[in-house]
Amino acid sequence: MFRTLISKEIAETVLGLRFTIAMLLCVVLIPLGMYVSRKDYEHRLAGYQREVQTYRQRYGTPPPPLTGGEEAQGFRPPSVLSMFASGLDPFMPDKVFTSQSGLFRTVKEAGIDNPQSLLFGKADFLFNVMFIISLTALIFTFNSISGEREKGTLRLMIANSIPRSQIILSKIIGKYFVLLVPFMISVFIALFIFDASPVVSIGSPEVWPALLIIMVATLLFIFSMVSLGVCISTFTAHSMGSIVLLFFVWAMFIIGVPRMSPMIAELIYPVESGSVFSFRKRMVRDDIEKQFEQVKKETIDSKQDAERESLQEATRQKLMEIAEHERADGRESSLKAAEELNRKYNVRLREIGAKYEPQIQRLVEECQRRIASELNRVEQDYRNRRNIQFSIAMNLARISPVSCYAYVVSGLSGTGVTEPDNFVRNARMFQEDINQIFYDKVFYMFGRQRRTEGFNASDPLSFPDMRYRYLNLTEAVQMHWPDILLLCLFDVLFCALALMKFNRYDVR
Amino acid sequence: MLKTLIKKEITSAIFDLRFVIAALLCVVLIPLGMYVSRKDYEHRLSAYQVKYQEYRQRHGKGVEPNTEAQAFRPPSVMSIFASGVDPFMPDNVTTARSGLFRTTKESIIDNPSSLLFGKVDFIFSVVFIVSIAALIFTFNSFSGERETGTLRLVIANSVPRSRILLAKVVGNYIALSIPFIISILVALLILDASPDVSIISSSVWPSLLVIMGVTFLFMLCIVNLGLCISAFARNSMDSIVLAFFVWALLAICIPKVSPMVADVLYPVKGANVFDTNKRLIADDIDHELVEEREALRTKCFEEFGAPESDMHTSRPWTELGRKATAKYEQEFAPVSDRYQNRLAEALRRLEQDYRRRTNVRSSIAMNLSRISPVSSYTYIVSELSGTGVTEPDNFGRNAQRYQDQVKQAVYDKIIVKRERYGEAYEYPNEFDPRDALIPEMTYMYPTLAQALQTGLPDIILLGLFTVLFYSLAFMKLNRYDVR
């Protein structure tokens, strides 16, 4: 019986206009989106390779003598799976400059190639599933119960001795299978296009496991959308009402909840923006520097100045004595004496400078340490606050299955919400590598001048490439298993709601 | 009679569930989106001001030989309405003595979640929410009446069919406008409450007025489209599916697909390939220059019979060598200048070619996407907001202007003397490098007149689409047979 019900459901949907349209949309949009994303990825990859190569040729091996001012550059390779979800990729920095101070900076290329496509956004796989497939799923199902109720066929069916749970399950499963047909066809075409690219292959170990999980998540998501549609259908009396309700729910899930939740999180837990924060960091640094300047003036500079002045005074007196004795000693010898005096004065001056040099050095070092620890503290604080806001936003957005799905797919594609932090981690690691290889070997000579040892023309320094590490599959899954779980829960929830409502349906 | 018909349409639309839902969506989404865009604008503005002030304080005064003047792009006020390409635009230009300025972009990601899902600015709300609402309002106005049989009754009366259609258009349009206008008023109140923005300022209200006008035209267009779909479909089930299909096509497919199609039709190599080409040409010309230089040096040295050992030292040991070097330097100056000119000319030609090709591709993409009224609407509103497709070029123009300005005020004042060991710098007498001010950039967004000029075809197209959909619906309705 159950089988008959399902096959009836399938036959009915396949022969409808909706199926044709869904087929058309899927088969056109998903492969086309994949083709464009693939092209885009190839562009980005070529750009990355070219940049790395140019960098290697021009700056990778800086010619000695090295001063410590050399900056090693690291580049972020595009993630292969960003073809499926471009996510944050267009906003991510793609270059990191290390520096001797230990503060690396990140840069983003600002060339706008194709303003039209930026204006309208990309139609990648994630977008197609989120917008087109979800809407199709709802359009497939919105009148499955309410339509039959209107026509009166529901009465007839319920009057038979079929359990209601079977009716509703057959509807969900039937619609789900029908929807999967155009989806699967278009995904196969898309994967074919994906595999036709010379630079990627589906069989590679970094692609297929993640791709498998993305597909599983997508199937779960489509199921949740189908059961949501059936659920809406049971809640409304006629199909007109259900189409309107569907529109509302769809807009809320796709647009309302995911886009509003960051704003609501900002209202609940406001955190200053990055630019204000960097301004505050600079203020902190300036304040500490000013303090130390004051301390230096009071303790070291005053003593040094006093000593210098007394030296100057003594020298001047001696000079006057020489001048007085000039007539007696003769011009030649007094000139010699003056020269001797001058030499002594210079030596003495240098001695005074050298005497205070270590103290100043110590003070400067202490100042640097204070600044570093203070900045670290401020940054930690800021990061904590931002993380709290961020997790509020994320958890709020999880009310909608659409955002759970977007989190999973973009996370697995290496373009998710945690990627900016991952970039910073990678950049820090790169900075540490370069520190070990190069910056730690820079030392000071004569105060300001910097020299490096051990790097000469015969053994030039070659900066290593940055090994950018995207989150691997286990890490990504670990990060996003709540989302996958939530997707399953949504499936169950919508089915249960539909069943509950349908069980209470009264024929009268 | 027309009045009665319109009234009937309005009441039937207002007492429906659809109206409640549309009102709810509009009133929640549009003001909230406006609030968020406003906050975002305030953030961007304060970031700009902080950067700008700090730069002026530190580097605003005083010229050094290696000064590189920087300028920042202020955010456009109207970007609150349409963020457009703004998130991708560079916001910093660094001039250079060589004339090749650089543009950079801050890469701090404040709020990854909101970037992942995109913004809900005004234009997004209109394109996605209001347009669907308009279709949902109208999709069964004919097909539904046909199903219930009331269309027969209406047509059997002595009302011209054009009146019936007009009444449906006007009635649904007014019913849709009510929640929209309410939410716009709330949104504008929210906007005006910002300390940084005022609606009545001369940079805001004229553009705002035009944007509103265009938005109303767009809504009329979509209402007509809905009626047209309804007239073509047999029953309301078909018309909803058709409406969904057409909506997906117009709002998503055509705008997103047309740049790709243009790319396939007229492929242009990416900006980085162009950069590489530039570098290759520069390297080639450099190479030629080096060859000619060496030939010249050898010639000069042979002419004087100077020893070869002097040829590659910067400080010749013999008298002859010194003479030869002097002659060589004298003769080399025009050669060097010639190569500089050649390089500049080659780069200019390459750049022009690249720009021409991208322009062709861009106009193909634009004209293709204009099949859909949604893209026309997006083009005008983003153009009026200073975040349209022409803005990257405008940024380039502004940057070039600033570069010229700085060149005139600063770089031309630095006289570079090439000496044997590096370079020496001199300044003209009346120029005091310590007191010299670095010029500021006055970033010019396109004025309203310019934006309108660019957007005029789109406005006309929107009007044409409206007329087209209306006449299609009318044609189909006239041919409707009661039997």
What residue ranges do the domains of chain A occupy? 2-273+391-457+474-503, 274-390
Residue of A nearest to B48 (CA): A275
Q: Do B270 and A46 touch (CB under 8 A)?
A: yes
Q: Do B236 and A36 touch (CB under 8 A)?
A: no
CA angle A145, A151, A154 (to 5 degrees): 50
Asked if pLDDT for residue A373 goes beyond 70, the answer is yes
The one-letter code for the residue type at B270 is: G
> pLDDT (tens digit, 9 = 90+) per residue, A381-400?
888 888 888 888 888 889 99
Asked if pLDDT for residue A424 goes beyond 80, the answer is yes
CB pairs under 8 A between A and B: 235
Of A116, A279, A394, the CB nearest to B113: A394
**Residue A471 in 3-state DSSP?**
coil
Residues of B in contact with A92 (CB under 8 A): 107, 109
Of A50, A51, A417, the CB nearest to B113: A417
From A394's Cα to the closest Cα of chain B, the distance in A is: 7
Q: Do A397 and B117 touch (CB under 8 A)?
A: yes
Residues of A in contact with B114 (CB under 8 A): 259, 262-263, 393
> pLDDT (tens digit, 9 = 90+) per residue, A326-364?
777 777 788 888 888 888 888 888 888 888 888 888 888
Omega cis (within 30) before A65: yes
| Selection from A33-37, B301-305, B434-438 with the highest mean pLDDT | A33-37
Residues of B in contact with A46 (CB under 8 A): 270, 272-273
Token readout for B457 is 């075809």
CA angle B267, B369, B269 (to 5 degrees): 15
CB-based contact B165:B473 (threshold 8 Å): yes
Asked if pLDDT for residue A507 goes beyond 70, the answer is no
Bridge partners of B104, per DSSP, are B92
- Tokens 């990601």 belong to which residue? B109
Residue of B nearest to A121 (CA): B256
Of A43, A110, A112, the CB nearest to B104: A110
Instruction: Give, as one character, the DSSP assignment of residue B270.
Output: -
Token readout for B218 is 């767009």
Q: What average pLDDT does this structure show over B120-124?
A: 87
CB-based contact B268:B361 (threshold 8 Å): yes
pTM, to two decimals = 0.83
Asked if pLDDT for residue A428 goes beyond 60, the answer is yes
Residues of A in contact with B258 (CB under 8 A): 116
The one-letter code for the residue type at B65 is: P
pLDDT band at residue B422 using 50, 70 and 90 as cut-offs: low
The one-letter code for the residue type at B190 is: I
- Tokens 């001010």 belong to which residue? B437
Q: Do A108 and B105 touch (CB under 8 A)?
A: yes
Residue among B42, B109, B377, B378 with most chain A CBs within 10 A, to mutate = B109
Of B107, B241, B260, the CB nearest to A106: B107
CA angle A100, A101, A105 (to 5 degrees): 90
- Structural domain boundaries in chain B: 2-267+370-416+427-478, 271-368
ipTM of the predicted assembly exceeds 0.95: no
pLDDT band at residue A493 using 50, 70 and 90 as cut-offs: very high
- Distances in Å between the Cα of A3 and the Cα atoms of A153, A155, A166, B349 are 19, 20, 10, 71
| pLDDT score for A216 | 93
| pLDDT score for B109 | 65
What distance in Å separates the CA atoms of residue B334 and residue B323, rounded to the nearest whole number? 18
Q: Which candidate, B407, B459, B360, places its Cα nearest to that of B99? A: B407
Q: Do B21 and A245 touch (CB under 8 A)?
A: yes
From B299's Cα to the closest Cα of chain A, the distance in A is: 32
- B61 at interface of A, judged by CB pairs closer than 8 A: no
Residues of A in contact with B85 (CB under 8 A): 112, 115, 118-119
Q: What average pLDDT does this structure show over B339-357?
A: 86
Instruction: Give, as one character, the DSSP assignment of residue A241.
Output: H
How high does pLDDT run on average in chain A? 84
The one-letter code for the residue type at B225 is: L
The one-letter code for the residue type at A418 is: T
Asked if pLDDT for residue B70 goes beyond 90, the answer is no
Residues of A in contact with B109 (CB under 8 A): 88, 91-92, 274, 420
Bridge partners of B94, per DSSP, are B70, B102
Q: What average pLDDT does this structure show over B17-36?
A: 87
Kindly give the residue spans of alpha helices, DSSP state H, lying in A236-330: 239-251, 257-268, 274-296, 302-324, 326-329
Residues of A in contact with B25 (CB under 8 A): 248, 251, 256
The region of weakest confidence among A39-48, A199-208, A250-259, A274-283 is A274-283
- Distances in Å between the Cα of B226 and the Cα atoms of B11, B239, B449, B453 are 19, 9, 33, 30
Of B257, B270, B362, the CB nearest to A32: B257
Bridge partners of A443, per DSSP, are A451
- B88 at interface of A, judged by CB pairs closer than 8 A: yes
Q: Do B382 and A119 touch (CB under 8 A)?
A: yes
Token readout for A414 is 């290496």
Q: What average pLDDT does this structure show over A65-94?
A: 83
Bridge partners of A437, per DSSP, are none
| More confident of the two residues B173 and B272 | B173
**Residue A278 in 3-state DSSP?**
helix
- B252 at interface of A, judged by CB pairs closer than 8 A: yes
| Residue B9 falls in which region: left (phi positive, over 0), alpha (psi -120 to 50) or beta | alpha
- B150 at interface of A, judged by CB pairs closer than 8 A: no
pLDDT band at residue B421 using 50, 70 and 90 as cut-offs: low
Asked if pLDDT for residue B90 goes beyond 70, the answer is yes
From B21's Cα to the closest Cα of chain A, the distance in A is: 7
Asked if pLDDT for residue B432 goes beyond 90, the answer is no
- B24 at interface of A, judged by CB pairs closer than 8 A: yes
| pLDDT score for A486 | 94
What distance in Å separates the CA atoms of residue A365 and residue A350, rounded to the nearest whole number? 22
CB-based contact A123:A29 (threshold 8 Å): yes
Of B25, B144, B236, the CB nearest to A251: B25
Q: Give the H or E element holding residue A30.
A: helix A17-58
Q: Do A114 and B259 touch (CB under 8 A)?
A: yes
